[in-house]
């Protein structure tokens, strides 16, 4: 059973997104002359087993582009702690279903949506997932994605700790594999990784009792249903996922990137402040914009109306800022 389905029980909030801050820059035009070529030798060497393990929702999402065709764009996604890749690749069922603006965009523009599945959930639920580290996760993902992104433009989307996974991935792709930066970062409800330990608003879960850890999860706006009969499933998963940011040793500096960044902050996020999210502007020499999700808590992608509003803004920026820079 999908992990995401457990989370979709919050009351639905009417969401409104407002552009709050913007640092202007003339965006350079990127020419990806090879993005519609047939599959290269590198692509033909893809490890299909590993690829399907990391991105099990690609086929289900309806965005997969079959060889010899190439996608026009790839959208790399990282979900929040406790969640699964289907936050992005699944529209849900019944009254919980939403028509995802991001999936609709990908289908219309022949863009592949690659949402990363971490161990301990979904199709990877039987894999060991004990005190993981972000750098270890990225070492598994980067070689596979490097093959996919060498001559296909891409953007990255990260929510909560998914933001740190996203920027660490891009740094490794660039420094180790020579892959270009994404055309855009979309990062929501998490501080820039340069935040000092004394300013982090969370408690390290390793030293918390089970009751204390539940209270910590509530501060992150985890739904009450999680603390019922399914807690025995979620408890070890959440403990492990929280290790990702508890143990993260940041080596990224300000102005590490040149890509444009759009950051999102939910007004009802009790854990992460707007000023923390604004710090993403210091991580790039590119343009920066902060967008406000009115009424959104820390897990606003799990609130139906907020998720729709958020993904609509992601798509709007891609259509306005990214797609014009992709030249056939």
Residue of 230, 233, 282 whose CA lies nearest to 257: 282
Q: Is the dihedral of CA 111, 83, 254, 24 positive or negative?
A: positive
Q: How confident is the model at residue 4 (pLDDT cuts 50, 70, 90)?
A: very low
Q: Please check the confidence at residue 45 and state whether its pLDDT lies above 70.
A: no
Q: Please check the confidence at residue 265 and state whether its pLDDT lies above 90.
A: yes
Helices and strands: H and E segment counts in the chain: 12, 7
Could you tell me where the DSSP H helices lie in the chain? 3-7, 41-44, 48-54, 58-61, 86-89, 101-109, 134-149, 162-177, 210-219, 231-246, 274-278, 304-317
Q: Which domain holds residue 145?
A: 3-325
Q: Give 276-304 pLDDT, tens digit per residue.
A: 999 999 999 999 999 999 999 999 999 99
Q: For residues 255, 102, 90 and 238, what is the CA-based torsion angle, rounded to 10 degrees?
A: 20
To which residue do tokens 């590119």 refer? 286
Q: How confident is the model at residue 35 (pLDDT cuts 50, 70, 90)?
A: very low
What is the C-alpha to C-alpha distance for residues 216 and 41, in angstroms, rounded to an integer?
48
What is the C-alpha to C-alpha distance for residues 270 and 247, in angstroms, rounded to an integer?
22
Q: Give the residue with greater pLDDT, 8 vs 114.
A: 114
Q: Please check the confidence at residue 42 and state whether its pLDDT lies above 50.
A: no
Range of weakest confidence among 92-101, 122-131, 309-318: 92-101
Q: How confident is the model at residue 40 (pLDDT cuts 50, 70, 90)?
A: very low
The mean pLDDT of the chain is 88
Q: Please check the confidence at residue 92 and state whether its pLDDT lies above 60.
A: yes
Which pLDDT score is estimated for 130? 84
Domain count, the chain: 1
Q: Please check the confidence at residue 268 and state whether its pLDDT lies above 50.
A: yes
Average pLDDT of span 295-315? 96
**pTM recorded for the entire structure:** 0.88
- % of residues, the chain, pLDDT over 70: 84
Q: Give the residue with greater pLDDT, 113 vs 38.
A: 113
Supply the CATH number for residue 255's domain: 3.40.50.1820
Q: Give 132-181 pLDDT, tens digit per residue.
A: 999 999 999 999 999 999 989 999 999 999 999 999 999 999 999 999 99
Cα 31 versus chain centre, distance? 25
What is the C-alpha to C-alpha distance for residues 288 and 265, in angstroms, rounded to an integer?
14
């Amino acid at each position: 059973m999908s992990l995401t389905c457990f989370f979709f029980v919050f009351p639905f909030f009417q969401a409104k997104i407002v552009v709050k801050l913007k640092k202007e820059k003339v965006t350079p035009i990127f020419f990806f002359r090879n993005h519609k070529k047939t599959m290269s030798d590198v692509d033909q060497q893809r490890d299909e087993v590993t690829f399907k393990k990391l991105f099990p929702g690609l086929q289900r999402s309806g965005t997969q582009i079959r060889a010899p065709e190439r996608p026009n764009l790839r959208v790399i996604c990282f979900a929040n702690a406790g969640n699964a890749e289907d936050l992005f690749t699944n529209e849900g069922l019944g009254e919980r279903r939403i028509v995802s603006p991001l999936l609709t965009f990908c289908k219309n523009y022949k863009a592949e949506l690659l949402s990363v599945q971490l161990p301990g959930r979904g199709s990877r639920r039987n894999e060991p997932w004990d005190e993981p580290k972000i750098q270890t996760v990225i070492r598994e993902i980067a070689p596979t994605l490097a093959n996919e992104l060498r001559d296909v433009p891409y953007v990255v989307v990260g929510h909560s700790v998914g933001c740190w996974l996203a920027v660490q991935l891009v740094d490794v792709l660039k420094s180790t594999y020579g892959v270009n930066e994404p055309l855009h970062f979309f990062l929501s409800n998490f501080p820039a990784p340069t935040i000092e330990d004394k300013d982090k608003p969370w408690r390290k879960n390793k030293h918390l009792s089970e009751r204390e850890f539940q209270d910590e999860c509530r501060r992150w706006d985890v739904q009450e249903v999680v603390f019922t009969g399914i807690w025995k499933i979620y408890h070890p998963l959440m403990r492990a996922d929280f290790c990702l940011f508890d143990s993260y040793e940041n080596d990224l500096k300000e102005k590490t990137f040149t890509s444009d960044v759009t950051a999102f902050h939910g007004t009802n996020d009790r854990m992460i402040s707007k000023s923390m999210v604004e710090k993403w502007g210091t991580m790039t020499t590119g343009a920066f914009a902060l967008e406000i999700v009115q009424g959104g808590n820390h897990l606003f992608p799990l609130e139906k109306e907020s998720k729709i509003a958020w993904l609509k803004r992601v798509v709007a920026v891609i259509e306005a800022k990214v797609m014009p820079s992709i030249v056939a």
